[in-house]
Amino acid sequence: MKMRIAIGQINSTVGDLKGNFEKMLSMIKAAFDRGARVIVFPELCVTGYPPEDLVLRLDFLKKNVETVEKLAVETRDMDIVIVAGFIDFSDDVYNAAAILYGGEIQGVYRKMILPNYGVFDEFRYFAKGRVPLVVEDEHGTRMGITICEDIWVPEGPMRMEVIRGNAGIIVNLSASPFEKNKPLLREKMTSTRARDYRIPIIYANSIGGQDELVFDGYSFAVDHEGNVIARAKGFDEDLLLVDIHLEEAVLSKLHDPRKRQIKEENVTCDVVKITASFLTSGESTPSTCQKLKDEYEQVLDALILGTRDYIKKNGFQKVIVGLSGGIDSSLVASIATMALGPDNVVGVLMPSQFTSSESLEDARKLAQNLGIETFTIPIKGIFERFMEELEPVFKGLPWDVTEENLQARIRGNILMAISNKFKYLVLVTGNKSEFSVGYATLYGDMAGGFAVIKDLYKTEVYRVARLVNERFGREVIPERIFKKPPSAELRPGQVDQEKLPPYEILDEILKMYIDKDMPIDKIIEEGFEVETVKSVVQMVNNSEYKRRQSPPGIKVSSRAFGKERRLPITNHYDPWK
Amino acid sequence: MKMRIAIGQINSTVGDLKGNFEKMLSMIKAAFDRGARVIVFPELCVTGYPPEDLVLRLDFLKKNVETVEKLAVETRDMDIVIVAGFIDFSDDVYNAAAILYGGEIQGVYRKMILPNYGVFDEFRYFAKGRVPLVVEDEHGTRMGITICEDIWVPEGPMRMEVIRGNAGIIVNLSASPFEKNKPLLREKMTSTRARDYRIPIIYANSIGGQDELVFDGYSFAVDHEGNVIARAKGFDEDLLLVDIHLEEAVLSKLHDPRKRQIKEENVTCDVVKITASFLTSGESTPSTCQKLKDEYEQVLDALILGTRDYIKKNGFQKVIVGLSGGIDSSLVASIATMALGPDNVVGVLMPSQFTSSESLEDARKLAQNLGIETFTIPIKGIFERFMEELEPVFKGLPWDVTEENLQARIRGNILMAISNKFKYLVLVTGNKSEFSVGYATLYGDMAGGFAVIKDLYKTEVYRVARLVNERFGREVIPERIFKKPPSAELRPGQVDQEKLPPYEILDEILKMYIDKDMPIDKIIEEGFEVETVKSVVQMVNNSEYKRRQSPPGIKVSSRAFGKERRLPITNHYDPWK
């Protein structure tokens, strides 16, 4: 006898109660057909994650509950236990899991450990659950329920479900956002928890893009020894089936007295008894174990999925990208092409008198390699007309950043005009190094709906661009683009390195200052020049106002701009004082 | 014998540890000179409120502690007890109050009730305090300490400080952001708490603008019967002194057995004993009681202070405003003039072929009335040049919103170019009705550093504009501007009411849908047409992406856009489905 359990790794859309319901229903049918006795869905799969202030709407909460009730009714004739994330709206509002069987909601587990850091604001919305819960089938087999953060703390409900609830298996419903190394970290942590208590764990993660976040999927199962025995696809929907032999775990416990030592503690756990059987006989189903890709391959997948979902879920079909012939716009156009196909990507070339012929050539070559359409609209005439009209006010004042920004803003206007006329979404091409130090023009190159590589430092941009060429199997991004010194080409002979330290140095300082919040003296101790560190930190602090008005982009690091990093604009803190 | 207590209502700046220190020191000296034995400062006055993710920096936390230590040392020779808000960084991080006397930190109270709703994110940063605290002087007089939210819940630490700690007076350190009706609400609530326990309460609030927030000050004292006996200025720094006769409260308690009934409960409270005396003899000082202004007078004050502080604290001196001759830009220019003086405000007129001569005249008249400089830069030529360059792409497609947006964006570019050239900050003139339904152009009229009236509905704009003329004592905003139908003047004969319901109706629907999160059917029940409600709700939901890239503006309502309303951009929730 074994437990055949399915993970319904679906791509929910926030607020799309009906669409999410339909996805769940079709996964349940498929799992049932394949002999699964239990199916586990991700955290808040009914509403999508994170629903943010939709949770403050009564009508939304009610419809979410109705959706779960409807799901129970529609699946009443299928002999399968369903565990689905939804918002429990009863004496208070909870991030919860409903246990459905035989047409009814058999029980509700309420998340006990609520994250309120990084990108998470769960205390804003939810009350804490107070009681762990196990579901018991007619054979007495017990399945402990946990939701995401619950399992990340050593003393969460899982411990009580094992000690007091005598759970034989733990399931975890997650909406764990992607960041570099996160998929591996999740497995390591879960593996440790499994070994700690000699119990198999089923980890069901969301997939899909939601504004700044990408959920990578990679749901998995670990056995009681902590081995990963099954893994779902990354960055795609999947139905993962796995057979768990519960006796093995019990046998293993007999040989490990550690758990039994703490058994007598005074903790409580609810038990929901249902008339279903978790167990099935007959032939085992071989479990699939998808490969966990390399770190930056995952990053590229995240950028593709995040872009595709933002575009499609927001009702767009096509995108436009300003092509400068530089590495950033080349990478963004390539990602867009991978996400949407070449017919849905348009490159716009907007040369000025400072645009080198090499840049134009490189941009055209890239577009040709990708097979995307291009428009060419020169900006010189418009720029001159602006300067003419501004002359009575500027009265011959010397050229400065004003004229550079104006060129960038004319380009922004052109992209937005095309966007308005044809309903294409504008992709922004700035990288994290630029967003960090404010080396970008508000309403200029920062104008657009979605900033694909906003969380990639420049040095990482090159790295991911290499992977793009590898994945295409040919030189899509021309080699010359990798080689030439980065330049905004907004005045004669301009290169980024005039105003900024070399990117190899800049990015290292930024990682320490932004991603790790390291004190300045520690950064200097790492071997960087005081003046360089000082100027970088000042640039970062002084450009908060630009970031506040920047478009959303895809989080791939442990500290992305946007909801994950919340600094005041008005801020006189100077670490040197 | 009486207790002479001072409230140091200072305008802290976030991160300006040194500047805040100096403000505190000078208030302490003044209070001491005037015979105060205790001075209470607002919540987190050392760091400014809210410090947001600065709290995640080790160096910042340490310097904040050092600042408090330095304050203790510098005031060691003054016989006055100081209660100051800072971040306690010990076994964890707490929103705390330090009790300083004789050169030392005598004790620390840690906020027990942390707000994590609306504009507040305190769970992101702080651990909860666990023990209430009273400070006892050499006569045995006890002062209970509370911080902001602590006093807003009926079962917070104040109750325990009274019941178990035997406090004779309660102080509350606040950083309570302004919104309509808030100053009165604060006093009503505090008055009830005072009466409930027959105890005087000293409420010390912050003042000053910090990004989206304005702290209005209006610190006050209530006696044991709940009467407001002293009130500081609104929207300005102030040192408020008040004499409290503690015997009266004790006598009153003898006549009120209610408190004594609950005295025996099992609650704890820390006591910090200090060698100071809270009490003083001699003549009483008459306490001042500033008038609490009318609701919209407060709103106007908030807009002026919020604008002034944003500009000055961010290192600007002058601002520019695009003047259209409409009510919104007229109000914003007037507020800017009140905040900064006419020499620091420049109006920019940017007529097109659709600009009526009346609009130009009205804009010029307004500028003249305010005494501000103007620039006039026509946009027609630039617009035509744009259209010429775009023609190969647009290929004769009909005029639509593209051309309207383009005009707005050209104006945005001109304002930003002047901003860049002269280091003036651009004020954005959009109101809450426009921001709600997306009736504004991203990077066009939405371009700029600060959106002064972002949280005022159009109907409120007229109301506040009337107050402006009253306060100036003459017709600064020309009467014709109040009378004419609102128009963006982006095509011939355009008026707002073509695309939007009349503002009287629109604003009522928006207040219900946005400010109150009311379900659609309830809004319709209030007597609005289904189709109107539907179209308004759709416009609101579809313009989330614009608001995400909008500049910060001043919160004056109970639900301002920005950190107070957090909705996903990608959002398929349709209340009609």
Query: Catalytic: B148?
Result: yes
| Residue A91 phi, psi dihedral angles, 5° rounding | -70, -20
Test A15 with B406 for CB contact under 8 angstroms.
no
**Residue A267 pLDDT class (50, 70, 90 cuts):** confident
Which residue is catalytic, options A2, A23, A45, A111? A111
Cβ distance of B548 and A551 shorter than 8 Å: yes
Is the pLDDT reported for residue A249 higher than 80? no
Please answer yes or no on whether B210 and A550 come within 8 Å at the CB atom: no
Q: Which residues of B touch A524 (CB under 8 A)?
A: none
Min Cα separation A333/chain B (Å): 19
DSSP B523-535: HHHTT--HHHHHH
Q: DSSP letters of A41-102?
A: --TTTTT-S--GGGGG-HHHHHHHHHHHHHHHHHTTTS--EEEEEEEEESSSEEEEEEEEET
Taking a C-beta distance cutoff of 8 angstroms, is the pair B169, B201 a contact? yes
A-B interface: how many C-beta pairs under 8 angstroms? 248
Residue A152: pLDDT band by 50, 70, 90 thresholds?
very high
Q: What is the pLDDT of residue B263?
A: 59
Gap between the Cα atoms of A269 and A109, Å rounded: 11
Q: Which residues of A touch B19 (CB under 8 A)?
A: 572
Average pLDDT of the segment spanning A377-403: 97
Partners of B52 on chain A (C-beta within 8 Å) are: 566-568
The Cβ-side half-sphere exposure at B31, using a 13 Å CA radius, reads 32
Q: How confident is the model at residue A259 (pLDDT cuts 50, 70, 90)?
A: low
Q: Which residues of A touch B537 (CB under 8 A)?
A: none
- Counting as low any pLDDT under 70, the low residues of chain B are 257-266
Domains of chain A, earliest start first: 2-280 (3.60.110.10), 295-497+542-548 (3.40.50.620)
Can B43 be counted among the known catalytic residues? Answer: yes
CA dihedral (A334, A340, A342, A348) positive or negative: negative
Chain A residues closer than 8 Å to B381 by CB: 385, 388-389
List of chain B residues whose C-beta atoms are within 8 Å of the C-beta of residue A549 = 549-551
Question: Could you say which of A211, A375, A400 has the minimum Cβ distance to residue B569?
Answer: A211
Please tell me which of the candidates A521, A565, A572 has its beta carbon nearest to residue B14: A572
CA B58 vs. chain centroid, Å, equals 28
Residue A424 near residue A318, CB atoms below 8 Å: yes
* CA atoms within 13 Å, Cβ hemisphere of B87: 28
Who contacts A462 (Cβ-Cβ below 8 Å, separation ≥6)? A327, A482
Our CA-based measurement puts residue A522 at a distance from the nearest CA of chain B, in whole angstroms, of 10
Instruction: Tell me the nearest-neighbour CA distance from B14 into chain A, angstroms.
Output: 5
pLDDT class for A268, splitting at 50, 70, 90? confident
The pLDDT of residue B316 is: 98
In the set A2, A23, A136, A148, the catalytic residue is: A148
3-state secondary structure B479-521: HHHHHCCCCCCCCCCCCHHHCCCCHHHHHHHHHHHHHCCCCHH
Best to test chain B binding among A54, A443, A547 (most B CBs inside 10 Å): A443
Q: What is the pLDDT of residue A467?
A: 98
pLDDT for res B375: 98
* Catalytic residue selected from A23, A43, A182, A269: A43
Name the nearest CA neighbour of A425 among A313, A330, A554, A546: A313
Lowest mean pLDDT among A135-144, A249-258, B63-72, B175-184: A249-258
The catalytically annotated residue of B2, B43, B233, B318 is: B43
A259-268, A314-323, B541-550: least confident range: A259-268
- Tell me the average pLDDT across A435-445: 96
Helix (H) or strand (E) holding A409, with range, is helix A401-422
Contact check, Cβ <8 Å, B381/A379: no
Which of A421, A423, A525 best tests the B interface by mutation, with the highest count of B CBs <10 A?
A: A421
Q: Which residues of A touch B378 (CB under 8 A)?
A: 389
Question: What is the reported pLDDT for B248?
Answer: 78
Nearest to A393 among B117, B375, B413 (CB): B375
Q: Are strands A133-136 and A270-273 parallel, antiparallel or unpaired?
A: parallel
State what percent of residues in chain A have pLDDT above 90: 90
Strands B2-9 and A373-376: unpaired
Tens-place pLDDT, residues A455-489: 999 999 999 999 999 999 999 999 999 999 998 88
Query: Does position A212 have pLDDT exceeding 80, yes or no?
Result: yes
Backbone phi, psi, residue B15, to 5°: 85, -15
pLDDT of residue A255: 73
pLDDT at A261: 62
The total number of residues written for chain A in this structure = 577
Buried b / exposed e across A36-65, counting CB within 10 Å, b at 16+? Answer: bbbbbbbbbbbbbbbbbbbbbbebbbebbb
Nearest to A41 by CA among A305, A245, A181, A217: A217
pLDDT digits (tens, 9 = 90+) for A227-242: 999 999 999 999 999 9
Residues of A in contact with B59 (CB under 8 A): 519-521, 575
How far apart are the CA of A128 and the nearest CA of chain B, in angstroms?
Answer: 13
Tell which of B403, B443, B522 to mutate to test the A interface (max A CBs under 10 Å): B443
Encode B164-206 in three state secondary structure.
Answer: CCCCCEEEEEECCECCCCHHHHHHHHHHHHHHHHCCCEEEEEC
Which of B2, B23, B45, B111 is flagged as catalytic?
B111
Active site residue B149: no
